[in-house]
Amino acid sequence: MFRFASPLFLSLLVVVCFVIFFKLRKKSTNIIKVSSLKDLDGLFPSFMVMLSKFIPVLKIISLILLILALARPQFGDKKINVTTQGVNIILALDLSESMRALDFKKDNEIVTRLEAVKIVVRDFILKREGDRIGMVVFGSNAFTQLPLTRDYNTIAFILDRLKIGAAGPSTAIGDAIGISLKRLEDIKSKSNIIILITDGKSNSGELSWQDAIKIAVQRKVKIYTIAVGTKGEAPFLVDGLFGKQYVYQKVDVDLDALKTIAEKTQAGFFQAGDLKSLGQIYEMINNLEKTKVDVEKWVEYKELYQGLLALGLILFLLYIILTNTRFLRVP
């Protein structure tokens, strides 16, 4: 399908047509008075004289090409309605201080728990099609980072910029579930899920996780829970007397609570101790949670303006050079 992305610029062609029309109607006053044209009848105009008549045409063609380039011609498929698999998903991500633990590896490089989660979640997001995905982050408090959307590039962009401690040092799991349930009310769907990712124990917030899952059960929202990190102590990079050094600290994750949340909402509980298992968990969720929805799908249009712009500029530059050199007009 061919289209112009900015068709309003085509109205400039009307202006060009009016200018040409008035130029043709206007009689030239640049004449030379001679006593007789009799001796000039047999003269044949030179090539340069004939070529000079096409110089104004060169300018008109270049202007038309530049206007067409401004209108941005594109070629691609038109918008179509397709039936695809999709659900409403809220990603509830723990940003508490314990997510600084360095017990994950990516390509033999040690990364924090949050960085490991980002890697896998980004891949999960870009594999989804038709889903609306939102993001809630939590620490001592919970808040909406991004409402439900199908703009996966924006979700990935926001995900990359999440910082540990942005929501406080503690862990408010109940508030995170409560805010996530609120966001799922924004856009109705037959299937709603929350993916709760944490490495801690609920020790903050106004809403308890027990009360939060009661609301989730009433609304038939599934909550998949993922416990991130290894059991027991985990290494942290801290500032010491002699610079940066690793210290081992115990991270208290409430596995029983996470299992209960998943069971009560008829979802699943997972435990990820490394990047591979974390990726496998998201692959399982990706395969489990699918439902048919109608969405509008666009195939990206290929831009065609570059050739028109280049040709238009070349012709206009040629017009300027010729009118100021070989075809220079003296008033």
At 283, is the pLDDT very low, low, confident or very high (cuts 50, 70, 90)?
confident
pTM exceeding the 0.75 threshold for the entire prediction: no
Who's near 136: CB < 8 A, 6+ residues apart? 90, 91, 92, 93, 142, 143, 144, 145, 176, 179, 180, 183
In terms of domains, do 13 and 103 share one? no
- Does residue 232 sit in the same domain as residue 127? yes
pLDDT at 82: 46
Range of the domain at 245: 81-296
Does some domain include residue 109?
yes
How large is the average pLDDT for residues 274-301? 68
Asked if residue 72 lies in contact with residue 2, where contact means CB atoms within 8 angstroms, the answer is no
- Same domain for 52 and 167, yes or no, is no
pLDDT at 208 over 60: yes
Residue 225 maps to which CATH number?
3.40.50.410
Average pLDDT score, the chain: 83
102 in any annotated domain: yes
pLDDT tens string 130-141 = 788 999 999 999
More confident residue, 217 or 107: 217
* Same-domain pairing of 94 and 13: no
Shared domain for 58 and 186, answered yes or no, is no
∠ CA 328-41-48, rounded to 5°: 25
| Residue 182 clears pLDDT 90, i.e. is over it | yes
Residue 157 located in a structural domain: yes
**Residue 317 falls in which region: left (phi positive, over 0), alpha (psi -120 to 50) or beta:** alpha
Tell me the sheet residues that pair with 198. Answer: 227
Q: pLDDT, tens digit, for every residue of 74-105?
A: 887 655 454 455 689 999 999 999 899 888 88
Q: What is the distance between the alpha carbons of residues 91 and 168, in angstroms, rounded to a whole number?
A: 18
Question: Has residue 38 been placed in a domain?
Answer: no
Same domain, 165 and 258: yes
Is residue 283 domain-resident? yes
Residue 34 in domain:
no
- Is 32 part of any domain? no
Position 296 scores a pLDDT of 55
Tell me whether residue 285 is in a domain. Answer: yes
Same domain, 151 and 226: yes
3-class state of residue 172 by DSSP: coil
Residue 92, CB-side half-sphere exposure with 13 Å CA sphere: 32
Predicted confidence (pLDDT) per residue in 23-34, tens digit: 777 655 555 665
Distances (CA, A) of 166 to 88, 93, 169: 25, 11, 8
> Which residue has better confidence, 270 or 31?
270
- Do both 7 and 93 map to the same domain? no
307 and 193 assigned to the same domain:
no
Query: Number of folded domains in the chain?
Result: 2
Q: Are residues 20 and 94 in the same domain?
A: no
Does residue 186 sit in the same domain as residue 60?
no
* 153 shares a domain with 117: yes
Q: What confidence tier does 128 reach under pLDDT thresholds 50, 70, 90?
A: confident
Q: What pLDDT, in 10s, does the model give residues 141-174? A: 999 999 999 888 899 999 999 999 999 989 999 9
Look at residue 324 and tell me whether its pLDDT is greater than 50. Answer: yes
